[in-house]
Amino acid sequence: MPADRPTTLADVAAAAGTTVPTVSKVLRGRSDVSAATRARVMAAVDDLGYRGRAGRGLAPRGDRPPLVDLVLSGVDGTWANRALSGVEQAATAAGLDIVVSVARQPDDAWLTRLLARHSRGAVVALVDTTREQLATLTAARVPVVLLDPVTQPPRTVASVGATNWAGGRAAAEHLLGLGHRRLAVLGGRRRHLYSQARVDGFRSAAAEAGADLPDDRVVHGDWTRAGAAALAAGLLAGPDRPTAVFACSDTMALGVYDAVAAAGLRVPDNLAVVGFDDLPEGEWVRPGLTTVHQPIAEMGAAALRMLLRLGDEPPAQPPVDAPREELATTLVVRGSTAPPPAAGADVENRRAAPSPG
């Protein structure tokens, strides 16, 4: 193919070993295509950098219904509700309706449904999107904004997130300011961008202060309360257990509370705990959870507004650097943090602690 000639549907079809009508079906979200063929077409779209054009089986955005998609990794928990609230408020202000989908990895069914709706665009939140999925949305001329991207997105894909690194650093500075030097971190999955940024921010402040944070006290879990409780139990069982723990989500911080209670200890008398997100659950627990506030609803609204700013018709070539926005995080201090126990007080607090449950 000549370097100066735009990629065509025929080129994609040839690379995928299929026909032009089949490629068009994939880009229009038709379900009468086998999973294997769909995967080959999506891979060819990505490899060739194909960008669809109105009039080639794709409706102009102006002719599409007044809908935008919000794609979530799940709808359980407060995070999803807050993100939906922010996206919905901004969409309503723009005269648009929202369709909510759940992306169940590694299934592409959410993508097919989205393409079939011919919506004006999509906000994709906490979904581990693949290059092929993003390239297919681009080829179908569906603008996308990633909300809190799981992994580093391509430079051509717009995104909205939070200042995760700064939030992790603020958590460490708070604990260090209270006098803690034996620290631990409960991160989420290692490959998740926001988890690693929070851990890195925390470690940077700890290193500058010369605090004790060895690699075996930085552990990674699956973001669940039960998983965090198991990890925290291991940290507390050691002979030189930490006096403070930073959990990279409030859900994981609640798991730390469970482990502390099971060990006959108290928060914050024996272990100070800091979370991340500032979900309502952190206010309900006792003592209230010190946490890093993440402006989730505001992030959702910002993502929707960014989506609208991308324009009615995406340019023939994507920008080298798509817009990126990070909203500020802030530390919220509650009762789960206090200075470390004095020598000998830790043992007395353990004896005085009530039995869990």
Is the pLDDT assigned to residue 137 strictly greater than 70? yes
Q: Report the mean per-residue pLDDT for the chain.
A: 87
58 or 130, which is more confident? 130
What pLDDT sits at residue 350?
Answer: 44
What pLDDT sits at residue 60?
Answer: 55
φ/ψ region of 223 (left if φ > 0, alpha if ψ in -120 to 50, else beta) reads: left
In a domain, 156, yes or no: no
What pLDDT sits at residue 38?
Answer: 86
Query: Do both 220 and 246 map to the same domain?
Result: yes
Query: Do both 14 and 48 map to the same domain?
Result: yes
pLDDT tens digits, one per residue of 51-102: 776 545 455 555 678 899 999 988 888 899 999 999 999 999 999 999 999 9
In a domain, 151, yes or no: no
φ/ψ region of 102 (left if φ > 0, alpha if ψ in -120 to 50, else beta) reads: beta
Is the pLDDT assigned to residue 349 strictly greater than 70? no
Query: Do both 115 and 171 map to the same domain?
Result: no
d(CA 22, CA 174): 57
Query: Do both 206 and 70 map to the same domain?
Result: no
What average pLDDT does range 287-314 have in this prediction? Answer: 90
Query: Do both 65 and 204 map to the same domain?
Result: no
What pLDDT sits at residue 187?
Answer: 97
Query: Binning pLDDT at 50, 70 and 90, where does residue 357 land?
Result: very low
What pLDDT sits at residue 119?
Answer: 87
Question: Is-contact 172 274, C-beta < 8 A?
Answer: no
Is the pLDDT assigned to residue 356 strictly greater than 70? no
Query: Binning pLDDT at 50, 70 and 90, where does residue 355 land?
Result: very low
Is the pLDDT assigned to residue 354 strictly greater than 60? no
Is the pLDDT assigned to residue 276 strictly greater than 60? yes
Query: Do both 175 and 112 map to the same domain?
Result: no
Question: Is-contact 176 211, C-beta < 8 A?
Answer: yes
d(CA 225, CA 254): 6
Is the pLDDT assigned to residue 348 strictly greater than 80? no
Question: Is-contact 72 125, C-beta < 8 A?
Answer: yes
In a domain, 310, yes or no: yes
CATH no. for residue 279?
3.40.50.2300
In a domain, 285, yes or no: yes
Query: Binning pLDDT at 50, 70 and 90, where does residue 352 land?
Result: very low
pTM of the predicted model, to two decimals?
0.85
Q: Range with the lowest mean pLDDT among 115-119, 167-171, 267-271?
A: 115-119
Give the chain's domain count. Answer: 2
Query: Do both 207 and 339 map to the same domain?
Result: yes
Token pair in block for residue 329? 């995080």
177: helix, coil or strand?
helix
Question: Is-contact 249 292, C-beta < 8 A?
Answer: no
Decide: residue 210, CB within 10 A, 0-12 exposed, 13-18 middle, 19+ buried.
exposed
Question: Is-contact 246 143, C-beta < 8 A?
Answer: no
pLDDT tens digits, one per residue of 185-241: 999 999 999 999 999 999 999 999 999 899 999 999 999 999 999 999 999 997 789
Token pair in block for residue 117? 């709706």
Token pair in block for residue 61? 């955005």
Token pair in block for residue 182? 């034996």
In a domain, 282, yes or no: yes
Query: Do both 283 and 304 map to the same domain?
Result: no
Q: Which domain holds residue 214?
A: 164-294+331-352
What average pLDDT does range 23-45 have in this prediction? Answer: 84
Q: Range with the lowest mean pLDDT among 99-113, 192-206, 293-307?
A: 99-113
> Which residue reads 């959702």 in tokens?
300
In a domain, 252, yes or no: yes
In a domain, 20, yes or no: yes
CATH no. for residue 107?
3.40.50
In a domain, 153, yes or no: no
Residue 18 exposure: Cα atoms within 13 Å on the Cβ side: 23
Query: Do both 278 and 241 map to the same domain?
Result: yes
Decide: residue 158, CB within 10 A, 0-12 exposed, 13-18 middle, 19+ buried.
buried
Query: Do both 137 and 24 map to the same domain?
Result: yes
φ/ψ region of 137 (left if φ > 0, alpha if ψ in -120 to 50, else beta) reads: alpha
User: What residue ranges in 211-336 does DSSP mark as E strands?
Assistant: 218-220, 244-247, 272-277, 290-293, 324-327, 330-332
**What sign results for the dihedral spanned by CA atoms 248, 250, 256, 260?**
positive
Query: Do both 86 and 168 map to the same domain?
Result: no
Query: Do both 28 and 116 map to the same domain?
Result: yes
d(CA 129, CA 149): 8
What average pLDDT does range 303-323 have in this prediction? Answer: 75
